[in-house]
Amino acid sequence: MQRFDFHVHSDFSDGKSSVEDIVVMAIESGMTKIGISDHSYTHFDESYCIKKERIKEYIDTLYSLKDKYKDKIEVYTGIEQDFYSDESTEPYDYVIGSVHYIKAQNEYIPVDESAEILMNAADTHFSGDIYALIDEYYKTVADVVRKTNADIIGHFDLISKFNENGELFNENDARYVNSFKRAADSLLKSNAIFEINTGAISRGYRTSPYPSKQIYDYLKANGAKFILSSDSHDKDTLCYCFDEYDNLT
């Protein structure tokens, strides 16, 4: 069986392992394909992404390793393009389009940094209405393929990262359901593939992948295509839990 993973971060962005160490681990693990997809540069937050001055080095490294290991594994050059990144995606084999921020009153608010940031943002910018903040998130997600030219839609419901047990909001609330369905309906018109993303499991935030079961069921019923993604930030978590969730693709 072919085993591959295309959502993988190296130490060019917020990963722990070098690109070459990741490729070697993929080979040793019997993988047939590996795609590196570090975070695109965002001018308003440089804490997690490829530094602007290192973009060329990143691309050159990927193409060098693609050639070096061509007899052992297929190496793909990718990028996880944030919705608010202005960098070109032309040099890459594929693009993962993701929404890590919402924008409110000229402030970029990260949706996956902490529950406290989300609740404070709801109070500050949405009159304490967390569902209004969520709706803004899904409105942004709805446009991610157009904005990033994505081949793969990254962690569709990242807004739920800290909500597995319903601490922040009710995922069965009609407002939440209507928000994600509008985004899903928009993206289903594209040819992009949705992730089954196990990254929050490997990093201890969740016990189930993105998207949630109700979102997965809605997408599946409406003809979505899926790909397993580890969203790995360490060479040791490549293809994390893929055997458990392989039946979802």
Say what the pLDDT of residue 234 is. 97
Residue 80 sits in a domain whose CATH number is: 3.20.20.140
Structural domain boundaries enclosing 163: 4-248
Say what the pLDDT of residue 242 is. 96
Q: Could you read off the pLDDT of 20-49 as tens digits, one per residue?
A: 999 999 999 999 999 999 999 999 999 999
Say what the pLDDT of residue 2 is. 67
Say what the pLDDT of residue 196 is. 98
Closest CA to 243 of 17, 20, 25, 29: 29
143 φ, ψ (degrees, to nearest 5): -105, 5
Judged against a pLDDT cut of 90, whether residue 82 lies above it is answered with yes
**Bond into 209 cis (ω within 30):** no
Q: How many angstroms separate the CA atoms of 26 and 22, rounded?
A: 6
- Strand 101-104 versus strand 4-5 pairing type: unpaired
Judged against a pLDDT cut of 70, whether residue 96 lies above it is answered with yes
157 φ, ψ (degrees, to nearest 5): -110, 45
Say what the pLDDT of residue 116 is. 98
Structural domain total, the chain: 1
Q: How many CB atoms lie within 10 A of CB 104?
A: 16
Confidence of residue 145 (pLDDT cuts 50, 70, 90): very high
Judged against a pLDDT cut of 80, whether residue 103 lies above it is answered with yes
Say what the pLDDT of residue 179 is. 98
Q: Could you read off the pLDDT of 166-204 as tens digits, one per residue?
A: 999 999 999 999 999 999 999 999 999 999 999 999 999
Among left, alpha and beta (phi > 0; psi -120 to 50; other), residue 138 is alpha
Strand partners, 81: 97
Judged against a pLDDT cut of 70, whether residue 130 lies above it is answered with yes
For 35-49, the DSSP string reads EEEEEPP-TT--SSS
Average pLDDT score over residue span 149-161: 98
Confidence of residue 141 (pLDDT cuts 50, 70, 90): very high
Average pLDDT, the chain: 97
Confidence of residue 140 (pLDDT cuts 50, 70, 90): very high
Say what the pLDDT of residue 1 is. 53
Judged against a pLDDT cut of 70, whether residue 205 lies above it is answered with yes
